Structure 1
Amino acid sequence: MTIKDIKLKLKTSNNPVAKSLHQGLGFKTLVIGFKKGMILKEHKAHLKSKLTVLEGAVIYKEEHRIIELEQYDEVEIPIEITHSVEAREDSLCIVTQGE
């Protein structure tokens, strides 16, 4: 019920809501929910990662790259590069990390 939990918590949250969907040796899958205008503040990925938009639309930002993503779009997230994500509309994303 991870995705349902995220959507429920978003109703009262002022920040994106993230939960682990699945985890194992050397990999992790996260689901992140956003309300329109929410920002996942700047951070770095320490593992090979990919962001995929399941619902809505977001803007993925790095220092020299800005990518607008809509439903089912995806972007590779470079290791140790500072980045952020901003929701253009209510959105649900999945992040896969690992080899």
Structure 2
Amino acid sequence: MIIKQAIAELEQKETPVAKLMHRGVVFKVIVLAFKKGMFLKEHKTSVPTKLTVLTGNVKYSSENLIRTIDIYEELEIPLEEMHTIDAIEDSLCLLIQGYRN
């Protein structure tokens, strides 16, 4: 239901939609929905984070890396690295944050 809710909410938005899908003791899974051209403004993460693209494709941009992430690809986002995420086309992503061995 969370993914369907994010997609439905996106129709009324001018900015990306983020919805918490699951929270564990030491991790969380977030659904990110974008329309083409939407972006997450520059930010950083202080916890281990992996971005996985389910549909569409997005561009990850930082001082150290610019990379297009296509459908079914993933990227581990470096800790404390300022970055942006831009939707090259309508896209649906999972953001997994938390503990990693």
TM-score bracket, normalised by the shorter chain, equals: over 0.9
What is the CA distance between 1:25 and its match in structure 2? Answer: 1.1
CA distance in 2, matches of 1:89, 1:77: 21
| Partner AA of 2:69 in structure 1 | L
Number of equivalences: 99
| Partner AA of 1:31 in structure 2 | V
Would you tell me which structure has more strand in proportion to its own residues? 1
What whole-Å deviation, never above 9, does each CA across 1:47-82 have from its counterpart, x for those lacking one?
000000000010011112100011001100011111
Tell me the equivalent position of 1:11. 11
For 1:40-51, list aligned pairs within 5 A: 40-51=40-51
Residue 21 of structure 2 corresponds to residue 53 of structure 1? no
Residue 50 of structure 1 aligns to a residue in which SS? strand
| Partner AA of 1:97 in structure 2 | Q
Tell me the equivalent position of 1:27. 27
Identity of aligned residues (%): 48
What whole-Å deviation, never above 9, does each CA across 1:9-64 have from its counterpart, x for those lacking one?
11110000000110011101101000000011111111000000000010011112
Q: Which runs of 5+ in 1 are unaligned?
A: none
**Moved beyond 4 Å, runs of 4+:** none
